[in-house]
Structure 1
Amino acid sequence: MDGDNSGDASDVTPYATAMTRQAHSGGITPGLTAMFSLACGLLVANTYYTQALIGEIAPALGLHGGVAGLVVTSIQLGYGAGLFFVVSLADRVENKRLILLLTSGACMGQFGTWMAGGPASFLLFSFMTGFCSVGAQIMVPLAAHLAPDQSRGRVVGNIMGGLITGIMLARPVANGLAAVAGWRAIFGLSAIMMAVLAVVLARIVPERRPKPGLRYGQLLLSGLSMLASTPAIRRRTAYQALLFASFNLFWTAIPLLLASRFGLGQGGIALFALAGAGGALAAPVAGRLGDRGHVRVGTAVALASATIAFLIAGWAAVAHALIVLGAAAVLLDAATQMNQVLGQRILFSIAPDARGRINAVYMTVVFLAGALGSTLATLSFDQGGWTATASVGAGLVATAFLLFLTERNAAAA
């Protein structure tokens, strides 16, 4: 593959070839891990740009009232569909080819979104972008496959750190670029980044050919069956689903609070979100905890910390303490990432040949829970303000913590 290009004058080729050779030999280099981390962050960020710019995009496309929400819903529906219908293919289709196909699709989707002349084409290309951005969820189990068992948690943690950084930076970057060059600019920039990313990934990602096995329909059913029959998958999915619902609830409602209670404009809200990205630093730490066998203790700390974060956030709004509110945001983000990494450390150790299916059902449920959390945010804030929202968030995480306390088998927790 890369060896055929060894005479290329490009500086990246020898380095890429070295990374690929080591990956084929049974490991994953720090350079390849970093590239996976960057790629996952860029791909997942695609699904969050419209959230920051809905106020500008919807009127420009002639979408008003209730249908304005389609600007965000279309890409989220695409991502959800991709999670269920595509990610399982990692157990059947050569992984590198699948990743490149999806990255190229995301490039075309963002280019179409950038050039869209009306609402129909915008929504169609947004759906395509979301559907293809699940390439990130192919890369995570691929990295777990390449990593040796003793460092799998660290590798997954480092990559998840990049993924959550992409989520947290997407909104402030989109807002900042829109202020300078208009709302379309972020989609054009993303299309270019996807094109460059596809070229780089084509050079450095090693091939992985799963063993011939289940047909496509059987793959989907197998993933659902594993979710239903495997206690560890059910529990880790439940913990993260409740936690991610609370995470989305917080970040959906916090701009409303910051604008109404603290008087912040778009710039201030973007800076607050940027500060919250500091929670991504917990992902690599969680990976190391998992590698050392501290999954149960780490999970308890994560769930307890998230509950405390909502209690602090509720008090900070009443006390008008913006810095304390920011600290609560960082704590919640860190807790969410810690639980995610620890959970995937367990899930990717259950059945190596079924990592794609396991990740597909896990992330689909977690994603749907996150969408429910966003809905609960608007309802609770409208009915009872931030106090109600923080209470709902604390209740969701407390439920996960109570469920965790019923786990008797420490190895499965």
Structure 2
Amino acid sequence: MSVASCNQNPPRVLTRPLTLLFALASGAAVANVYAAQPLLVAIADELDIGRAAVGAVVTCTQIGYGLGLVLLVPLGDLLERRRLVTAQAVLLALALAAVATAGNAAALLAGLMAVGLLAVLTQALVAFASALAPDGERGRIVGTVTGGVVLGILLARTVAGAVADLAGWRAVYALSAVLTLVLAAALRRALPRTAPPTARPAGGRSVAADYRRALRSLVRLPLREPVFRRRGLITLLVFAAFSTLWSCVALPLSDAPYSLTPAAVGAFGLAGAAGAAAAAPAGRLFDRGLGRWTTGAGLVLLTLSWLPLALTRQSLWALALGAVLLDFAVQAVHVTNQSTVLALDPAAGGRLIGGYMVFYSLGSALGAITSTAAYAAAGWPAVCLLGTAFSLLALLAWAAWDLRPAGAEGDAPQHRPHR
């Protein structure tokens, strides 16, 4: 049975204040995945983690995030969404408290994996907002919420660095735990109560049976949907490039000649925050049928951004310029890819966004572990070569699939049922 055929459309109650709450909560949740990036040196020094292995701090969070995308996000297609997202927010706050009190590296990494697992609250909220959005405005709504996600990712570095300078890295996670509990209460109060997207007739399958079917359909998505597979691979490469910069940049900035504090390192998140400006326009371009060209332009810009980034050792202004270009490009591509995937079957938004974001998480983990290893082996030039390679591969993949003769199979949504 098609998910679309049994979906009960929720009432269209997505007001502007509620959209902004979706964006705020999504950004706050995903910020926890990236807050460690300007803190890597402080964490490594306190818990005796070697510089070559410090990328594991970010990688463990991304592995947990990937598991959450597979195991938790599909629940949004089966359970009442308001209750689901508020429960996830409370559990996320508990995981953050565990990280704040971790006494050794093993406890820290386990706590960060739990934080990553539960931070997929972000994607549950994106899918919820997409389901509530009118069809002609879905790209704009997804773009607005994604803009909040972008700001959460980038400002996480600035805020985390400043808090760490004042009160230590543990205070970053303690404060985030408190904020997450406040947002859980706000979400419970403001979100509409909706029927589960997948209705079950009396005497029909159990939630557990539907959950198993949802997991099987998620695993099949790359095999059944060429559009999903292509967009997912581009996303993997794009976020590998993104993570190559942001998971590693604290290392050269903390070393001579700059020797910056965590707050100063985190301040470069403000430069990258300009990338959030790309999210809403990219969503509007997608609504006008220009998604693939927006993707292509973003990938060209992503590749070019590594030219100023290569000059980081000579100029912090070059780093700031490169960060703006890279983040602007990444978010434009992310919004168009995400909107394209969600259009395949809006009723299966949980599974589609969960499966798509697995590629995001794999790419982020790949960039984190390879960039810190490259820096330990050959310094910043090796990191820039790595980021350029990821970006160029994404551009070549887009060109191979989207610059095809008229009549070739394109990226138009197929609207196939996801069983």
Which residue does 1:211 correspond to in 2? Answer: 198
Residue 268 of structure 1, CA deviation: 3.0
2:379 alignment partner, SS class: helix
The structural deviation recorded for 1:353 is 2.1
Distance 2:255 2:52 in 1: 22
Alpha carbons 1:261, 1:317 under 8 Å: kept: no
1:73–1:406: structure 2 CA closer, same or farther, 3 Å change rule? closer
Classify the secondary structure of the residue corresponding to 2:175: helix
Tell me if 1:285 matches 2:254.
Answer: no
Tell me how far 1:117 sits from its aligned partner: 4.5
| Aligned residues of 1:105 and 1:128 also touching (Cα < 8 A) | no
Aligned to 1:337: 331
Contact 1:296 1:410 in 2 (8 A): no
- For 2:102 and 2:286, how far apart are their aligned partners in 1? 45
Higher relative contact order (CA 8 A, sep 6+): 2
TM-score for the superposition, normalised by structure 1: 0.87
Instruction: Give the SS at the match of 2:21.
Output: helix
| Alignment CA distance shift 1:297-1:52 (3 Å) | same
State whether residues 161 and 265 of structure 2, in contact with CA within 8 Å, keep that contact through their aligned partners in structure 1.
Answer: no
Query: Per the alignment, do residues 397 and 176 of structure 1 end up closer, same or farther by CA in structure 2, a change over 3 Å counting?
Result: same
Cα separation, partners in 2 of 1:288 and 1:247, compared to 1, 3 Å: same
The aligned counterpart of 1:412 is: 412
Residues 73, 332 of structure 1: alpha-carbon distance in 2 compared, 3 angstrom cutoff: closer
What is the CA distance between 1:264 and its match in structure 2?
Answer: 4.4
Change in CA separation of 1:69 and 1:290 when aligned onto 2, cut-off 3 Å: closer
What SS does structure 2 have at the residue aligned with 1:263? coil
Q: Contact conserved, 2:62 with 2:362, CA < 8 A, in 1?
A: no
Return the alpha-carbon distance in structure 2 between the equivalents of residues 125 and 380 of structure 1: 26
Q: Is the 8 A contact 1:40 1:139 kept in 2?
A: yes
User: Equivalences for 1:189-200 in 2 at 5 Å?
Assistant: 189-200=175-186
The structure-2 alpha-carbon separation of the partners of 1:76 and 1:317, relative to structure 1 and needing over 3 Å to count, comes to: closer
Partner of 1:89: 75
What is the aligned-residue identity percentage?
Answer: 36
Match of residue 37 from structure 2: 51
Matched residues, number? 389
Q: Report if aligned partners of 2:26, 2:125 keep a CA contact under 8 Å in 1.
A: yes
Matches within 5 A, 1:9-408: 25-61=11-47, 71-119=57-105, 121-208=107-194, 209-212=196-199, 215-260=210-255, 263-266=258-261, 267-314=263-310, 316-317=311-312, 320-407=314-401, 408=404
Secondary structure of the 2:12 match is coil
Q: 1:217 to 1:166 in 2, by over 3 A?
A: same
- Alignment-mate amino acid for residue 348 of structure 2: A
Per-residue deviation, residues 190-217 of structure 1 (Å, max 9, x unmatched): 1111111011000111233112366222
Distance 1:384 1:129 in 2: 32
Please give the alpha-carbon distance, in whole angstroms, between the structure 2 residues aligned to 1:70 and 1:390: 20
Matches of 1:160 and 1:69 in 2, distance apart? 26
Matching residue's letter, 1:377 = S
Please state how far the C-alpha of 1:259 moved relative to its aligned partner.
4.2
| Matched residue type, 1:349 | A
Deviations 1:167-191 (A, max 9, x none): 1111221121121122221122111
1:27–1:148 Cα contact (<8 Å) kept: no
Q: Report the Cα distance in structure 1 between the residues aligned to 2:41 and 2:397, rounded to whole angstroms.
A: 39
Secondary structure class of the residue paired with 1:207: coil
Give 1:300's aligned amino acid: G
C-alpha RMSD over aligned residues = 2.4
* Conservation of the 8 A alpha-carbon contact between 1:303 and 1:397: yes
Q: Does structure 2 conserve the Cα–Cα contact (< 8 Å) formed by 1:244 and 1:336? A: yes
Post-superposition offset of 1:73: 4.3
How far apart in 1 are the matches of 2:51 and 2:343? 47
Shift of 1:278: 1.4
SS of 1:401's equivalent in the other structure is: helix
Determine if contact 2:63/2:361 at 8 Å carries over to the other structure.
no
Give the deviation of 1:149 after TM superposition. 1.6
TM-score, with length taken from structure 2: 0.86
Change (3 A) 1:53 1:210: same
Alpha-carbon contact 2:61-2:113 (below 8 Å) kept: yes
Counterpart amino acid of residue 237 in structure 2: L
> 8 Å contact 1:227–1:358 — kept in the other structure?
no
**DSSP-derived class of the 1:265 partner:** coil
Structure 2 alignment gaps of length 5 or more: 1-8, 201-208, 414-419
Cα distance, 1:150 vs structure 2: 1.3
- For the structure 1 residues 49 and 153, does the alpha-carbon distance in structure 2 shift closer, same or farther, using more than 3 Å as the test? same
Question: Distance in 2 between the 1:60 and 1:394 partners?
Answer: 33
Q: CA deviation at 1:70?
A: 5.3
The structural deviation recorded for 1:237 is: 0.6
AA aligned opposite 1:212? A
Contact 1:223–1:358, Cα closer than 8 Å, also in 2: yes
The CA deviation string for residues 308-348 of structure 1, in whole angstroms up to 9 with x for no partner, is 1113322x347x23323311111110111011100111111
Say if 1:253 and 1:182 are closer, same or farther in 2 by CA, change over 3 A. closer
CA distance in 2, matches of 1:254, 1:119: 22
